Amino acid sequence: MALDLDSPQEARRVLDALPGLRWAKVGPMLLLAGGWDLVAELKGRGIRVFLDLKWHDIPHAVAGAVAAAARLGVDLVTVHALGGEEMVRAAVAARGKTRVAGVTVLTSHSAASLAAALGRPTVELAGEVERLARMLLAAGVDAVVTSPEEIGVVRSVAGPDTWIVVPGIRPPFAEVGDQRRTATPEAAVAAGATHLVVGRPIVRAKDPRKVYQGLCDAIG
């Protein structure tokens, strides 16, 4: 679950409602609002920490960040594929027992918005994700992050042990918001996702426990 909340109090309210939660994803929003103490509190609650800071920097800086996260006991971190193969290799070499996930193309991108960002007339999203996934896997990542639309493409180039982490999950009742490539939890699991990332549909729900339980039931 993505704890994209702007205060530790809000995060605790959601966490208290979800006693069986196994993973929490912490991004810059909550890290800066709650500090490292809140992340340590997650570990104290027996929850695995997915630190999603999507590092994209020079290899030395990213390796240092990954090593620091590993020392703090973080379970999973993210790096951006667009940081390049040397950066991803440096992250993998520094990871210790922490897993490294490589982000391919953000779920909030459409083909048109990615083409605009890259300054190209068009891009073929699945081809772009496949190219980046091959590079990430060659560099040794443990997991690939992609939208529901490219799960099959990623699995076709990944071994059976690679995690495929999929944001952009929207149950039918949920608002799409800024996401552009989305699917229901059932569809994402059927396509081969190993880990789903769900934020606003749970944390903004009136009854987060009910939505979380519904999602768990839907994917068995």
54 catalytic, yes or no?
Answer: yes
Minimum Å gap between C-beta 119 and ligand C5P is 21
Check if the beta carbon of residue 201 is closer than 8 Å to that of residue 183: no
b/e 104-119 (16+ beta carbons within 10 angstroms → b): bbbbebebeebbeeee
Range in contact with ligand C5P (rule: CB under 6 A) among 83-91, 153-161, 186-194, 199-207: 199-207
Beta strands in the chain (DSSP E): 23-26, 48-55, 76-80, 99-103, 143-145, 163-166, 195-196
Minimum Å gap between C-beta 107 and ligand C5P is 4
142: amino acid identity, one letter: D
Residue 202 DSSP SS3: helix
State which of residues 198, 205, 211, 215 lies at the interface with ligand C5P (CB under 6 A): 198
Minimum Å gap between C-beta 186 and ligand C5P is 16
Nearer to ligand C5P, 59 or 199 (CB): 199
Nearer to ligand C5P, 71 or 175 (CB): 175
Check if the beta carbon of residue 201 is closer than 8 Å to that of residue 174: yes
In this structure, what is the dihedral angle of CA atoms 109, 1, 140, 82, given to the nearest 10 degrees? 20
* Residue 51 is a binding residue for ligand C5P (CB under 6 A): no
State which of residues 34, 59, 83, 199 lies at the interface with ligand C5P (CB under 6 A): 199
State which of residues 65, 92, 141, 145 lies at the interface with ligand C5P (CB under 6 A): 145
Closest CA to 166 of 207, 90, 105: 105
State which of residues 102, 148, 167, 208 lies at the interface with ligand C5P (CB under 6 A): 167
Position with the least CB separation from ligand C5P: 199
Q: What radius of gyration do the chain's Cα atoms show? A: 17
* Residue 106 is a binding residue for ligand C5P (CB under 6 A): yes
* Residue 107 is a binding residue for ligand C5P (CB under 6 A): yes
Residue 195, strand partner residues: 165
Minimum Å gap between C-beta 190 and ligand C5P is 19
| CB-based burial label for 62 (10 Å; 0-12, 13-18, 19+) | buried
* Residue 4 is a binding residue for ligand C5P (CB under 6 A): yes
Minimum Å gap between C-beta 4 and ligand C5P is 5
Question: What whole-number distance in Å separates Cα of residue 211 and Cα of residue 80?
Answer: 30
Residues engaged in binding ligand C5P (CB under 6 A): 2, 4, 25, 27, 52, 103, 106-107, 145, 167-168, 177, 179, 197-201
> Which residue numbers are catalytic?
54
